[in-house]
Structure formats: structure tokens, C-alpha cells
């Protein structure tokens, strides 16, 4: 391990959409701790994690496989950087699914527990609202309350408050069409873009409430082994702020995150004065931080890791 203490005191993990075939493969080849993460995952999961991450693009893009796969890749990368460069953050955050990587890295839940949680989460989310869709709204300065009001009039919810320039809407396809038409008409004199996302369901919307209670009940037995010592160092998507050291609030927030809005803009504000490392198979969070004038370092492979920790 490098004797130089890591300059990064905060780490952020991307969520679904960051997956890439071959992710973390170079870490497995170079670091035994990364290989161990994949081996452990294969003992827990009901499918071959190597096949999903490195060989089968169709499986990788199915929600029920995507979610555990991203967790495995991100934890393989995290354990490698911890071992090789002494990465030891004081704050953790993750975007949607990425929050489970943050909780695992912080030692709140074990890797095996996180695997079980995200596997169930992926299965439930995959089953709900199969005619749902999501659309990113991009503007120079988003009037959040107004966009929310117009979307809600058409039974469409704000799934992600990503930055002052982007929110993601979520709802049924027919409702989304009506909402986008209304928004386009309302903002016809300003720069306004609506970009459909490639997703299978209306994540983080009212259409996920049918699985929220099922998931909350599923999480109950895991409370016994949760370690809340470092929980106040982890940002909550649902709450917007850092978690309190409270197992009940953690379980409730994780369940409600499925149908609630991801308050990423609030999470970024918590970390903006820190030295932030983005860790995952892709780097979607870097652009969001730029909108608040914060430059972060992104590590997506072994090469970028070496560069990040030598700077």
C-alpha cells in the first residue's frame, strides 16, 4: 500500500445507468481484494456475476441484474483503492442505487447484506410499473417548484433533483407525453430540452409505492446486524441530509427512496467543501458537481486511479 495518505475525504458512487460491460475487470486482474469481492458475490448471488459484468450486455442492462452488478463493481474498486492507496473517506454518498455502495463502504451494512438488499430491490423495481418511463429535463436554470407543479398535474413526479440544470421526471408513458407537452409549451421561449432515458420502469415515482412496503418488510431482519456508528457520515437521498445514527430511519429512508425523489442537489451541498472522489464504472456525477462550481476526481479504471492518487 502507498504510504501517502489519501487526499480524498469524501467518496461518491454512481447508480443505475453507470454500468458498462467489462467494469472492474482490470481491478480484478491487478488487485486480489477486488477478485475476492467478486468471489464473495458469486457465493451470495443466484447468477454468475462475472458473466453479467463482463460478458452479457443484455443481462447487465436488466434492472434485476444491473443493481447487484454495479454494487459488486463499485465495491471491488473501493476495496482496491483502500488497500493500494489508503483511501479513508470521512463522508460517503451515492446516487440512488449508489447509496448502497456508500453504506457498505462506510461499514454500516456488510457487503453480503448489501448484495441481498439490492438484489431484492432490483427484482421489485423490475416488477413494478412496466409501462413507466423517465425523462431528463435540461435547462440553464431549472425553476424546480414550477416544473414539479406542472409535472404533478399530469401524474408525473420528479425522480431526481440532480442539479440546477437537470431534473429527471418519472411516470407512465401516456402521462409523461402529456407532461412534456405541457412543459414544452410553458417554456417555449427558453432553452428547454427533454431527453428520454433508457429505463424499464418509472423509478422514484408514485408508481413504485406498490413495492415500497414489501421492501420495507424485507429489510426488517437486517436491522440486527446494522452498525450505525458511521451512519452520520452517509448522505441520504431521501432525507437530503446526513443520516442520523438510527436503524429505523435508515430502513424507512431506503424503502421510501424507491418511490421518493433523489435529493442529489442537497447531497452535493453537504460535500462541496471536501476533496471528492467519484468511484464507479462511469462518471455521471462529475457534471452535476460542476454546476455548483465543484471539481471532483473520477476513477473508472485502474489507469485513472493511478493518475488520481499520484496527483
* CA pair distance 35, 264, nearest whole angstrom: 31
Active site residue 96: yes
**Number of folded domains in the chain?**
2
Q: Verify that 305 and 215 share a domain, yes or no.
A: yes
Asked whether residue 174 is domain-assigned, the answer is: yes
- 103 shares its domain with 195: no
Can you give the pLDDT at residue 3? 45
Same-domain check for residues 195 and 228: no
Closest CA to 37 of 105, 87, 90, 137: 105
Among residues 199, 233, 256, which one ends one of the domains?
Answer: 199
Cα–Cα dist 212/45, whole Å: 22
- Domain end call among 199, 228, 251: 199
Residue in 204, 205, 236, 298 annotated catalytic = 204
Query: Is 5 part of a structural domain of the chain?
Result: no
117 plus 213 within the same structural domain: yes
Given a contact cutoff of 8 angstroms between Cβ atoms, the answer to whether 107 and 229 are in contact is: yes
Q: Rounded CA gap, 287 and 88, in Å? A: 24
Give residue 22's pLDDT.
98
Task: List per-residue pLDDT tens for the chain, 311 residues long.
Answer: 444 568 999 999 999 999 999 999 999 999 999 999 999 999 999 999 999 999 999 999 998 999 999 999 999 999 999 999 999 999 999 999 999 999 999 999 999 999 999 999 999 998 886 789 999 999 999 999 999 999 999 999 999 999 999 999 999 999 999 999 999 999 987 889 999 998 878 999 999 999 999 999 999 999 999 999 999 999 999 999 999 999 999 999 999 999 999 999 999 999 999 999 999 999 999 999 999 999 999 999 999 999 999 97
Answer whether 225's CB lies under 8 Å from 142's CB: no
Q: Which of 199, 221, 252 is the last residue of a domain?
A: 199
204 as an active site residue: the answer is yes
Question: What residue numbers bound the domain in which 264 lies?
Answer: 10-127+207-310
What radius of gyration do the chain's Cα atoms show? 19
57-62-63-69 Cα dihedral, nearest 10 degrees: -30
In a domain, 3, yes or no: no
Residues 173 and 105 in one domain: no
Among candidate residues 6, 54, 95, 96, the one labeled active-site is: 96
22 phi-psi bin (left φ>0, alpha ψ -120 to 50, beta other): left
Phi, psi of 167 (to 5 degrees): -125, 155
User: Is 167 part of any domain?
Assistant: yes
How crowded is residue 269: how many other Cβ atoms within 10 Å of its Cβ?
15
Is residue 255 within 8 Å of 99, Cβ to Cβ?
no
Q: Are residues 17 and 49 in the same domain?
A: yes
Tell me what pLDDT residue 129 has.
63
Q: Do 86 and 181 sit in the same domain of this protein?
A: no
Amino acid at each position: 500500500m502507498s504510504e501517502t495518505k489519501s487526499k480524498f475525504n469524501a467518496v461518491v458512487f454512481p447508480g443505475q445507468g453507470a454500468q458498462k460491460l467489462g467494469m472492474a475487470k482490470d481491478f480484478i486482474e491487478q488487485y486480489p481484494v477486488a477478485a475476492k469481492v467478486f468471489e464473495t458475490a458469486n457465493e451470495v448471488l443466484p447468477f454468475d456475476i462475472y458473466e453479467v459484468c463482463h460478458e452479457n450486455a443484455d443481462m447487465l442492462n436488466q434492472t434485476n441484474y444491473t443493481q447487484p452488478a454495479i454494487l459488486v463493481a463499485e465495491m471491488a474498486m473501493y476495496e482496491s483503492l483502500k488497500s493500494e492507496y489508503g483511501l479513508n473517506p470521512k463522508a460517503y454518498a451515492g446516487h440512488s442505487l449508489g447509496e448502497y455502495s456508500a453504506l457498505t463502504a462506510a461499514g454500516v451494512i456488510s457487503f453480503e447484506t448489501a448484495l441481498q438488499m439490492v438484489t431484492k430491490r432490483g427484482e421489485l423495481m423490475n416488477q413494478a410499473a412496466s409501462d413507466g418511463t423517465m425523462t431528463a429535463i435540461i435547462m440553464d436554470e431549472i425553476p424546480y417548484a414550477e416544473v414539479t407543479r406542472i409535472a404533478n398535474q399530469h401524474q408525473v413526479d420528479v425522480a431526481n433533483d440532480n442539479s440546477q440544470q437537470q431534473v429527471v421526471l418519472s411516470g407512465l408513458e401516456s402521462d409523461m407525453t402529456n407532461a412534456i407537452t405541457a412543459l414544452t409549451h410553458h417554456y417555449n421561449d427558453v432553452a428547454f430540452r427533454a431527453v428520454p432515458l433508457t429505463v424499464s420502469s418509472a423509478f422514484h415515482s408514485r408508481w413504485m409505492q406498490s413495492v415500497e412496503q414489501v421492501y420495507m418488510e424485507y429489510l426488517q431482519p437486517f436491522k440486527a446486524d446494522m452498525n450505525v456508528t458511521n451512519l452520520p457520515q452517509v448522505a441520504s437521498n431521501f432525507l437530503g441530509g446526513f443520516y442520523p445514527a438510527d436503524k429505523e430511519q435508515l430502513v424507512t429512508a431506503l424503502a421510501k427512496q424507491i418511490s421518493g425523489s433523489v435529493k442529489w442537489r442537497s447531497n452535493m451541498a453537504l460535500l462541496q467543501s471536501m476533496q471528492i472522489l467519484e468511484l464507479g464504472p462511469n462518471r455521471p456525477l462529475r457534471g452535476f458537481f460542476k454546476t455548483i462550481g465543484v471539481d471532483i476526481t473520477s476513477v473508472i479504471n485502474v489507469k485513472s486511479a493511478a493518475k488520481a492518487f499520484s496527483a
